Amino acid sequence: MSDHRRTPPAAHSSETPRLGYPPKWLRILIPSFLILAWLAGAAIGGPYFGRVSEVASNDQTSYLPSSADATRVQAMLGDFSDSNGIPAIVVFVADGEITPAHTAALQSAVDELVEIDGVLEVSPLLPSEDGRALQLFVPIDADGEIGTTVDAISAHLRDAAPQGIETFVTGPAGFTADLVEAFAGIDGILLLVALAAVFVILIVVYRSILLPIAVLATSLFALTVALLTVWWLAKAEILLLSGQTQGILFILVIGAATDYSLLYVARYREELRSENVKWVATHRALKASFEPILASGSTVIAGLLCLLLSDLKSNSTLGPVASIGIVFAMLSALTLLPSILFLFGRVAFWPKLPVYEPEVVAAEGGMHATGMWVWIGRKIRQRPRAIWLVTTAVLLVGAAGLTQFEATGVPQSDLVIGTSQARDGQRALGEHFPGGSGSPALVVVPQDSLQSAADVLLGSAGIDGVTVTSADSPSGSAPVTAEGIIAVGPPGTPAPEPTVVEGMVMLQGTLTDAADSAEAEATVRELREEFAGGDALVGGVTATAIDTNDASIHDRNLIVPVVLAVILVILMALLRSIVAPVLLVATTALSFVTALGVSALVFNGIFQFPGVDPAVPLYSFVFLVALGIDYNIFLVTRVREEALTHGTREGIIRGLSVTGGVITSAGLVLAATFAALSVIPILFLVQIAFIVAFGVLMDTFLVRALLVPALMYDIGPRVWWPSQLSRPPLSEQQPAEAP
């Protein structure tokens, strides 16, 4: 092997013009212009990292289908009440009985809450039956900074509370504040962790300083311009953006852009060994990388756009948001990175410079691979059937855990991992008051059905009390009993009239159990069955969770087969084959099922998570299948390229040997970036992080390294049926060796 420090022959100097070259000034101008264009985009888009909250929404109801009962009831709330508030529930709990002195001190502090920005009004203090707790309802401006307002309320009351009195702020506003705080790290810590993980892996892979920086710049610039585009689309209300969508966008763009960059860098390094002219090496590397990168990105985009079929807007909006990110990831890998590497040339790889050695390349027959991947290729050549049978058996064992995977939903109080004042407050609320206080079941019925609907609610074991919205009542609502609406006040006070909007009234049923509990969900489902066939609509916090879970399950059952079918069609068009695409999709699907099975055992046995959101398997499927197919495409397009010259079986070994390193590196990068999602303490994101990271690693080291090449080798040229490649020369017509 030649020493990489030798001087290349002068005959091949980059200054020597060749026929068909653009002039030198144009060769410098084109990459310089592309770099400046990306720099301008990054400069404009950079400040938008801190402005996502301006256009993002974490309100669960806004993501439901417009036809859902909970959505329709939510839309009516503003008509029944002048308050555009989201309720915070304050709970004061004493070690013993609350004394009149305690109550007076707390009332004084409560009266001052109206001075806090975002607080709309304050209800009277309500004592518990056991005399050890007080309850307070504080509507907070839904259009304001909910997290900031909740923190201010909590701090004020905690400082003012007498000794021995604990203060909690819970309810919908409390849990929203928890989510806001959890997502606060997306702009900073998530991005830093992801970039740091990728940088370390790239340093190890390339043993270079400049090249990892160039690849990271490619990924970061792609993310910046993608975020700029998404921000303005969200600003124009063309797209919905939430905290979880933002986090996934960050990770997906960083991971995908890095993967595409790795593929291009590998090709560019190959070309520099046989070509000393940077322009020619760049042109050849781009030509060789364009098809697999475009095919990989298009496959991911096609899979993501299938989410548009979703009833749940949080799913359907992720499709175009993430697709925009993938588009810019491809563009940066095919324009920005080649421009940077062209300008730096071999210096980009310093200190491990690619050696210009065309005679060695010619002797290798175009294949430059050593070490582990040559050894694996040799083992596959010797015993292909044994390898794919054993690998399949291992995957099936892991898939058996799928029976333990129950994605039926997670209580709102468990969405945030770690300490939560709102969760602690809900427990305290349930110990001293009806668990659903402050988050009632809302029932909208025609005015003439008010009493019959109230009787249904009063007859439910899961309902503790019933009120009707009334502007005539000082509290905004009036109690309803079997005898009708009753007055609250001195004797002789007339019963208030209910508020009527377009002939409809709104009843509120206080749930006996916590609004996010399985028992409360059962109560709401029973109420919907009781009101079925009529004009009643049942909404509220619990109904929103039910409608969200039901929509997620519907989306999962619809979208999963559609994604598989779309990817199968794309692969058939790319590979001009039927057998190979079916094989690739089947192995990727098996890999996904195994990832879910192992994850179920980990979630239940090690982490002891309280449940899994129905959207988790759907998101994990789209990412694992669409991105897993990426590695299939990287491998099989190279195998097909080699097979055209060397035959199918030899092409498989050569393709695996050449691409093994880049696919492994890409898998490690993608797994690391998705694992970074776990730094955001949201159960949904942590579970996706584990499933996708584990699935990608398994896909990289088992499916793509052993199962797919061994299975293709065993099948032989027939894997390309019905294309011309399926009719092999005589030298390939012997069967593969038996195990």
**Confidence label for 15 from pLDDT (cuts 50, 70 and 90):** very low
**Confidence label for 315 from pLDDT (cuts 50, 70 and 90):** confident
pLDDT: which is higher, 590 or 646: 590
**Confidence label for 241 from pLDDT (cuts 50, 70 and 90):** confident
The per-residue pLDDT for 3 is 40
Interval 167-187 mean pLDDT: 84
The per-residue pLDDT for 28 is 86
How far apart, in whole angstroms, are the C-alpha atoms of residue 694 and residue 683?
Answer: 17
Which segment of 493-502, 640-649, 725-734 scores lowest on mean pLDDT? 725-734
Above 90 in pLDDT, residue 626?
A: no
pLDDT tens sequence across 434-491: 888 888 999 999 999 999 999 999 999 999 999 999 888 877 888 999 988 887 766 7
Strand partners, 95: none
For the chain, what is the mean pLDDT? 86
State yes or no: cis peptide before 351, omega within 30 of 0. Answer: yes
pLDDT: which is higher, 320 or 317: 320
Above 50 in pLDDT, residue 2?
A: no
pLDDT: which is higher, 24 or 519: 519
The per-residue pLDDT for 394 is 95
**Confidence label for 365 from pLDDT (cuts 50, 70 and 90):** low
Interval 168-195 mean pLDDT: 83
The per-residue pLDDT for 697 is 92
* Residue 53 CA: distances (Å) to CA of 57, 58, 118, 249, 662: 8, 10, 17, 15, 37
pLDDT tens sequence across 522-549: 999 999 999 988 889 999 989 988 998 8
Retrieve residue 321's tokens. Answer: 């948001």
The per-residue pLDDT for 9 is 42
527-555: burial string, b at 16+ Cβ within 10 Å, e else: bbebbeeeebbbbbbbbbbbbbbbbbbbb
How far apart, in whole angstroms, are the C-alpha atoms of residue 661 and residue 368?
Answer: 11
pTM: 0.83
pLDDT tens sequence across 17-51: 454 577 887 888 889 999 999 999 999 988 888 77
